[in-house]
Amino acid sequence: MASQSDEKKRRLPRACDMCKRKKIRCDSDQMPGKRCSNCVAFNLQCTHVEAMNSLGSAKGYVQTLEGRLDKMEELFKHRVPGFNLDAELREETEEGSSALQVRRGDQDQDVARLSENLSRTLSIRPDTAFFGMSCVRWKIYRLRRQQYFGRERTTSNELLVRRREQFWNRQSKYPMRMNDTVPVYVFPDPDLMLTLVTLYFTHYNSYLPLLHRPTFEKAMADGEHWTDHLYAGTLLLVCALGARHSNDPRIFSTQPGGSEAGWKYFEQLTSFQTALQDRTSTTLYELQIHCLSVLYLQAVGLWETVATQIGLALRMAQQIGAHVHKNRPPNARDEAWKRAFWVLIFLDVSHACHYGRPVALRYEDFDIGFPLECDDIYWNHPDSARRFRQPADRPSALSFFVCLLKLVNTIAYVKRSIYHTRNPMILMGGQRRPPETEIVSSLDAFLNQWLQSVPEHLRWNPNNQDGLFFNQSAFLHITYHYTRILVHRPYLPAPQSIATCRDAALATLDVVEAQRRRGYIQSMHLVSCVNSTTLTMLLILWNGAEDPFKTREIQRVAICMDMLKGVENRLPMAGAFWDVIAELVSPDTSHSSSRRSRQGSRDSAGSSHSQPAFLYPNVRVNPEQQGSSASTPSNYPSRSGHATRASHSHQGRAS
Q: pLDDT per residue over 420-476, tens digit each?
A: 877 665 555 555 667 778 889 999 999 999 999 999 999 999 999 999 999 999 999
Please tell me the predicted confidence (pLDDT) of residue 472: 96
- As a whole number, mean pLDDT of residues 29-40 equals 83
Backbone angles phi, psi at 637, to 5 degrees: -75, 150
- Residues sharing a CB contact under 8 Å with residue 131, sequence separation 6 or more, in sequence order: 137, 138
- Residues sharing a CB contact under 8 Å with residue 363, sequence separation 6 or more, in sequence order: 409, 412, 413
Q: Per the domain annotation, does 318 fall within a domain? A: yes
Other Cβ atoms closer than 10 A to 145: 17
Using the predicted structure, report yes or no on whether residue 213 has a pLDDT greater than 60: yes
- In the structure, what pLDDT confidence band is assigned to residue 146 with cuts at 50, 70 and 90? low
Last residue in a domain, options 394, 409, 437? 394
Q: Per the domain annotation, does 523 fall within a domain? A: yes
Q: Per the domain annotation, does 422 fall within a domain? A: no
Residue 652 Cα distances to 57, 301, 530, 617, angstroms: 74, 19, 18, 7
C-alpha to C-alpha distance for 367 and 233, rounded to whole angstroms = 30
- Residues sharing a CB contact under 8 Å with residue 277, sequence separation 6 or more, in sequence order: 178
359 with 462, same domain?
A: no
360 with 335, same domain?
A: yes
Q: Per the domain annotation, does 359 fall within a domain? A: yes
C-alpha to C-alpha distance for 355 and 394, rounded to whole angstroms = 38
Tell which residue, 571, 460, 457, has the closest CA to residue 513. 460
Q: What is the pTM assigned to this prediction?
A: 0.69
SS3 (DSSP) at 525: helix
233 with 292, same domain?
A: yes
Would you tell me the crossing angle of helices 524-542 and 572-585 to the nearest 10 degrees?
10
Judge whether 295 and 241 are in contact, CB under 8 Å.
yes
Q: pLDDT per residue over 340-369, tens digit each?
A: 999 999 999 999 888 888 888 888 888 889
CA 327 from chain centre, in angstroms, equals 21
- In the structure, what pLDDT confidence band is assigned to residue 221 with cuts at 50, 70 and 90? very high
565-596: string of b/e by CB count within 10 Å (b at 16+)? ebbbbbbbbbbbbbbbbbbbbeeeeebbeebe
507 with 548, same domain?
A: yes
218 with 143, same domain?
A: no
321 with 456, same domain?
A: no
Last residue in a domain, options 329, 364, 394? 394
Terminal-residue alpha carbon distance, the chain = 93
163 with 224, same domain?
A: no
Q: Per the domain annotation, does 331 fall within a domain? A: yes
220 with 306, same domain?
A: yes
Q: Per the domain annotation, does 86 fall within a domain? A: no
Single-letter amino acid, residue 252: F
Q: pLDDT per residue over 509-557, tens digit each?
A: 999 999 988 888 889 999 999 999 999 988 888 877 666 666 677 778 8
Q: How many independent structural domains does the chain possess?
A: 3
Who wins on pLDDT, 554 or 139?
Answer: 554
200 with 156, same domain?
A: no
Using the predicted structure, report yes or no on whether residue 649 has a pLDDT greater than 50: no
Q: Per the domain annotation, does 376 fall within a domain? A: yes
Please tell me the predicted confidence (pLDDT) of residue 650: 40
333 with 453, same domain?
A: no
Q: Per the domain annotation, does 503 fall within a domain? A: yes
263 with 335, same domain?
A: yes
Residue 503 Cα distances to 261, 498, 550, 553, angstroms: 37, 8, 19, 11
- As a whole number, mean pLDDT of residues 491-515 equals 91
Using the predicted structure, report yes or no on whether residue 640 has a pLDDT greater than 80: no
C-alpha to C-alpha distance for 256 and 268, rounded to whole angstroms = 20
Number of helices (H) and strands (E) in the chain: give both, helices first: 26, 0
203 with 323, same domain?
A: yes
SS3 (DSSP) at 637: strand
- In the structure, what pLDDT confidence band is assigned to residue 195 with cuts at 50, 70 and 90? very high
Q: What single string gives the DSSP state of each residue in 590-636?
A: THHHHHHHHHHHHHHTT------TTS-TTSPB-TTTTTS-TTS-TTP
Domain that holds residue 616: 446-653
Q: What single string gives the DSSP state of each residue in 337-401?
A: HHHHHHHHHHHHHHHHHHTT---SS-GGG--PPPPPS--GGGS--SSGGGTT---TTS--THHHH
Tell which residue, 486, 478, 559, 489, has the closest CA to residue 523. 478
